[in-house]
Structure 1
Amino acid sequence: MKTYCLTLDLINDPELIREYEKYHQKIWPEIYASIKNSGINRMQIYRFSNRLMMRMEVNDSFSFDYKAALDAENERVQEWEKLMWKYQQALPGAKPGEKWMLMTQIFELE
């Protein structure tokens, strides 16, 4: 199993942040299925102010390219992503259309 952490900012508006969190209290069943079907075993999202951090534990079959290909062909995932973009904003340095940015691990305590 491998772990990835990604980060993203929300638009810094308390009402929009509340709405975003409400959507994540009960994600659409198709979104849950797409996450699990891509090889993600466990996912958590944390928030501080308007900064998000997503932690994913994935199995050996997972790849970001495969997940992107599955998502591109799934109309319901595309609908979700379009809706979520209402609340999200790109991080400085992101390319056009990039959302979640992969973080680099710099420390581990064992």
Structure 2
Amino acid sequence: MKKYCLALDMVDDPELIAEYEKYHQDVWPEIKQSIWDSGITNMEIYRVQNRLIMIIETNENFSFETKNELDNNNPKVQEWEGLMSKFQQQLPNSKPGEKWKLMDKVFSL
């Protein structure tokens, strides 16, 4: 198992944040399946103000490259991502189109 942490900012609007959280109370089954199919075995998203942190745990077959390829070829994932883009904004210094940014681990106990 490997663990990754990613960050993303949301549009700083309380109504949009509430709507985003409502969507995540009942994530579409196709999205959950695509997550599992990519090799992610656990995913959690946390929020403070308009900053999101996602922690994923993966199996030995997981790679970000494969996940991106699967996502790009899945119409339901593309629909979900298009819907979520209404709520999300890029972190400073992100590449064009880059949403979630992989965080560097700086400490482990």
What TM-score, normalized to structure 2?
0.99
Distance in 2 between the 1:15 and 1:66 partners?
A: 34
Alignment length (residue pairs):
109
Question: Amino acid of the residue matched to residue 84 of structure 2?
Answer: M
* CA root-mean-square deviation: 0.3
Q: What corresponds to 1:27 in structure 2?
A: 27
Question: Structure 2 CA distance, aligned partners of 1:4 and 1:78?
Answer: 22
Hey, what does 1:65 align to over in structure 2?
A: 65
Query: Which residues of 2 match residues 1-40 of structure 1 at below 5 A?
Result: 1-40=1-40
Partners of 1:72 and 1:97 lie apart in 2 by 13
Structure 1 unaligned blocks of 5 or more: none
**1:98, CA displacement in angstroms?**
0.2
Q: Give the deviation of 1:54 after TM superposition.
A: 0.1
State TM-score, norm by structure 1. Answer: 0.99
Question: What's the secondary structure of 1:25's corresponding residue?
Answer: coil
Aligned-residue identity in percent:
61
TM superposition shift of 1:16: 0.0
- Measure, in 2, the Cα distance between the counterparts of 1:33 and 1:60: 18
Tell me how far apart the structure 1 counterparts of residues 59 and 10 of structure 2 sit (CA, whole Å): 28
Does residue 43 of structure 1 match 2:43? yes
- Read off the aligned partner of 1:108 and give its amino acid letter: S
SS of aligned partner of 1:31 = helix
- Which secondary structure does the structure 1 equivalent of 2:80 belong to? helix
Shift of 1:76: 0.3
**In structure 1, the residue corresponding to 2:5 is in which secondary structure?**
strand
1:10-40, Cα deviation, whole Å (9 max, x unpaired):
0000000000000000100100000000000
Unaligned regions of 5+ residues in structure 2, if any? none
